[in-house]
């Protein structure tokens, strides 16, 4: 199958619930995961990990944790994007090191701009991501409400908000992966039906990690797609202001 354009890959991608027994190339799948890591994400924190399930034993265990549903049972390989909000300190440090290296290579330096960028990582980001006492949470929300009376402010700072941000960023990466797979003629099926605790135990993940989804991978069988794709008419969901 020839490589597809972005639009062709998007239109080719379907949730394939029955894969054929034709094996797929792990190296090619890994390259698609590399594309996943290029996805846009909140503050470039990259609070994600990707687990590529290829061994027979791991496949068997993960498929059981996905209730052996067809999309999992028939998959040749499985990909599990994982949200790692608990790694925020490490990610900030990596961002800071990259930022400083970029400053040092720049032909023209702007000390004021550089100091502001570092302060964002050293002060503002930890303020959002670190665990807070009830009093700190109350004070932060009170300050946001007060400031919001006179200017636009960032309001999504609760623990629940941060979980949504992490899941959203990781889902964007998962979509990159699935479109990349479609580009090379491989099929996928994202699944939300699984025992997340069992999967974390299988992968050796801490309690603080969160499973974003499980993606079955393979080459579609003749009966792999259950029906024609239904989408609402564009005029029902598109609004121009």
pLDDT tens column, 38-76: 999 999 999 999 999 999 999 999 999 999 999 999 999
Cα 145 to Cα 128, 151, 207: the distances in Å are 16, 10, 33
Tell me what the mean pLDDT of segment 205-212 comes to: 97
Residues 6+ apart with CB under 8 A from 131: none
Tell me what the mean pLDDT of segment 204-214 comes to: 97
How far is 10 from 151, CA to CA, in rounded Å? Answer: 39
Mean pLDDT of the chain: 94
**CB neighbour class for 40 (10 Å; exposed up to 12, middle 13-18, buried from 19):** exposed
pLDDT at 30 over 70: yes
pTM: 0.92
How far is 11 from 84, CA to CA, in rounded Å? Answer: 31
Superfamily of domain 1-224, CATH level 4: NADH Oxidase (3.40.109.10)
Tell me what the mean pLDDT of segment 156-176 comes to: 93
Tell me what the mean pLDDT of segment 92-118 comes to: 93
Crossing angle of helices 88-105 and 111-119, rounded to 10° = 170
Q: How confident is the model at residue 210 (pLDDT cuts 50, 70, 90)?
A: very high
Q: Which of 22-36, 100-114, 120-134 has the highest mean pLDDT?
A: 22-36
Give the pLDDT of residue 174: 98
pLDDT at 214 over 90: yes
- Percentage of the chain modeled with pLDDT above 90: 83
Write down the domain spans for the chain: 1-224
Tell me what the mean pLDDT of segment 4-17 comes to: 95
Top pLDDT among 135 and 127 is at 127
Give the pLDDT of residue 132: 79
Tell me what the mean pLDDT of segment 104-133 comes to: 90
Tell me what the mean pLDDT of segment 175-181 comes to: 98
Top pLDDT among 109 and 66 is at 66
């Amino acid at each position: 199958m020839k490589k597809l354009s972005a639009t062709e890959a998007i239109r080719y991608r379907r949730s394939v619930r029955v894969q054929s027994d034709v094996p797929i190339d792990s190296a090619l799948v890994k390259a698609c995961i590399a594309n996943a890591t290029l996805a846009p994400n909140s503050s470039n924190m990259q609070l994600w990990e990707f687990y590529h399930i290829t061994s027979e034993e791991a496949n068997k265990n993960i498929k059981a944790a996905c209730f052996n549903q067809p999309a999992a049972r028939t998959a040749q390989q499985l990909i599990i994007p994982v949200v790692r909000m608990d790694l925020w300190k490490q990610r900030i440090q990596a961002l800071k090191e990259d930022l400083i290296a970029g400053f040092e290579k720049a032909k023209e330096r702007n000390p004021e701009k550089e100091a502001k960028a570092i302060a964002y990582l050293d002060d503002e980001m930890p303020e959002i991501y670190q665990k807070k006492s009830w009093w700190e949470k109350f004070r932060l929300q009170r300050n946001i409400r007060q400031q919001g009376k006179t200017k636009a402010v960032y309001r999504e700072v609760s623990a629940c908000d941060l979980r949504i941000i992490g899941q959203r960023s990781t889902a964007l990466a998962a979509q990159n992966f699935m479109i990349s797979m479609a580009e090379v003629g491989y099929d996928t099926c994202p699944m939300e039906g699984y025992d997340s605790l069992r999967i974390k135990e299988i992968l050796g993940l801490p309690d603080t990690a969160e499973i974003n989804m499980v993606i079955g991978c393979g080459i579609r069988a003749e009966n792999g797609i259950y029906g024609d794709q239904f989408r609402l008419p564009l005029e029902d969901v598109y609004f121009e202001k």
